[in-house]
Amino acid sequence: MFTHHCTACERRQLMFVRQITDVAPVTDGLEVSFTCWCGAEQTGVLADLTAGSTNAVRRDLVAA
Ligand SMILES: [Zn+2]
């Protein structure tokens, strides 16, 4: 699970794995595409929390 601020409904939502439609590796984690509870398609970078990264700038998805 992770949280995301949706740009369509302007809410911070809790997302589940079953809402993920695509995952692609990027330099600072994984770019995740998913469908918000409101139906909007969203993307964000889920940082690799196991790597101990201190780069919080692109960590726009937060593992819950
Ligand atoms: Zn939404």
**Which tokens belong to 10?**
């302007």
pLDDT tens-digit series, residues 7-37? 999 999 999 989 999 999 988 888 999 999 9
Ligand 1 centroid vs 62 CA: distance in angstroms? 16
Ligand 1 centroid vs 20 CA: distance in angstroms? 14
Compute the mean pLDDT over every residue in the chain, rounded to the nearest whole number: 82
pLDDT-derived band at 52 (thresholds 50, 70, 90) equals low
* Averaged pLDDT, 28-56: 78
Give residue limits of the domains in the chain.
Answer: 2-63
Judge if pTM exceeds 0.85: no
Cβ(31)–Cβ(45) under 8 Å?
yes
Phi, psi of 18 (to 5 degrees): -65, -15
Ligand 1 centroid vs 8 CA: distance in angstroms? 5
